[in-house]
Amino acid sequence: MENYFWNTEILSDKKKLYILVIYDIVDNRRRVAFAKKMNGYGFRVQKSAFEAMITENLYRKLLAEIPHLIDNTSDTVRVYKIRGMGEVNLFGLSHRIEDEEVIIL
């Protein structure tokens, strides 16, 4: 078992949000495009899950982009916004997540 913690309110000029994005996208092409877009925001932690520590502005930008990447009749995307302090407990194979600035090109 491995744990990691975050605090979005630590000494920072810009307050950050911890987000968890999970998705079920039926079409392979849309799913790959969605995953590529998510790589610009955070880290893939499972096949259909990304975690990110981003600013409020990037969060709003992400929410605006998602509807253009999916088919509302067959796909599902959930974005969980978490503020403050938190903890993640990992079991099994996992990759260490580092809090770093993500630059979207």
Encode pLDDT of 27-78 as tens digits.
999 999 999 999 999 999 999 999 998 988 999 999 999 999 999 999 999 9
pTM here? 0.76
Q: What is the pLDDT of residues 11-23, one digit of tens each?
A: 555 678 889 999 9
CA-closest candidate to residue 44, choices 104, 95, 100, 79: 95
- Interior/surface letters 22-56, b for 16+ CB within 10 angstroms, e for the rest: ebebeeeebbeebbebbeebbbebeebebbbbbbe
Where is pLDDT greater, at 103 or 96? 96
CA 61 from chain centre, in angstroms, equals 13
Q: How confident is the model at residue 9 (pLDDT cuts 50, 70, 90)?
A: low
Return d(Cα 57, Cα 65) in angstroms, integer: 13
24 is in an annotated binding site: yes
Q: What number does CATH give the domain 2-90?
A: 3.30.70.240
Domain ranges of the chain: 2-90
Q: What is the pLDDT of residue 105?
A: 45
